Amino acid sequence: SQTIHQWPATLVQPVGSPLSLECTVEGTSNPNLYWYRQAAGRGLQLLFYSVGIGQISSEVPQNLSASRPQDRQFILSSKKLLLSDSGFYLCAWRDSGNSPLHFGNGTRLTVT
Amino acid sequence: QQQVKQSPQSLIVQKGGISIINCAYENTAFDYFPWYQQFPGKGPALLIAIRPDVSEKKEGRFTISFNKSAKQFSLHIMDSQPGDSATYFCAARTGYSTLTFGKGTMLLVSP
């Protein structure tokens, strides 16, 4: 069966520091991968998605970037964090085609 | 046209009651309508989904009602339990597109 792993679960970082969040999916190949952000008490904002290695689509221009170095690995990065980058970051995947979207358990990022 | 409007923003239901959450959409090309359940500190989990060729889908205590002409769909939770207390998101998409989510409903089922 397919599983998705996200780490770390929580992270506290100072303003101006770099960020790297990692997500991996097991049990499938060539999945579509997504990064979402959820502010406290708010909805789900799509940040990036990828339909294949090296293919990244950005939904919202901001202080973040994404990369997909391997088929089942998706990385969210920042060179210098801002206070406004605080939030709950969720990785998600689905098989290519018309299939359900599945989320990981998220990373709670607090920028201080 | 890509929006999915969800209501209410929050809902309090007594144990054993029926919880109803509504969503409306504009894009008639949407052909897949899932509902997600999210507990605090966890990622959303797919709860139930429907396609527009049926008007209702039931899984246990959870039912989606779909009204294609009105461009509305709703989630009904029968015999609501305290363990159902969570945030619920409706969503919609066309074929291979990304999901468009509603803003979520915080449900509290009081004992």
Tally of CB atoms within 10 A around A13: 16
Please give the distance of CA A93 from its chain centroid, rounded to a whole number. 10
Spell out which residues of chain B touch residue A59, defining contact as CB-CB under 8 Å.
Answer: 98
Structure-token pair, residue A2: 């397919």
pLDDT level of residue B108 (50, 70, 90 thresholds): very high
Angstrom distance (rounded) from CA A16 to CA A1 = 39
- So what's the pLDDT on residue B76? 98
Spell out which residues of chain B touch residue A30, defining contact as CB-CB under 8 Å.
Answer: none
In the block, residue with structure tokens 């999916």: A25
Name every residue in B having a CB less than 8 A away from some CB of A: 32, 34, 36, 41-46, 49, 89, 95-96, 98-99, 101-104, 106
Angstrom distance (rounded) from CA B34 to CA B1 = 18
Q: Which residues lie closer than 8 Å to B53 by C-beta, 6 or more apart?
A: none
Angstrom distance (rounded) from CA B73 to CA B20 = 10
Would the CB atoms of A43 and B32 count as touching at under 8 Å? no
CA-nearest of B12, B62, B52 to B32 is B52
Angstrom distance (rounded) from CA A103 to CA A39 = 16
- So what's the pLDDT on residue A84? 92
Structure-token pair, residue A13: 């970082």
Q: How far is B107 from chain A, CA to nearest CA, in Å?
A: 12
Spell out which residues of chain B touch residue A97, defining contact as CB-CB under 8 Å.
Answer: 96
> Each residue of A62-109: pLDDT tens digit?
789 999 999 999 999 999 999 999 999 999 999 977 789 999 999 999
In the block, residue with structure tokens 């009081």: B110
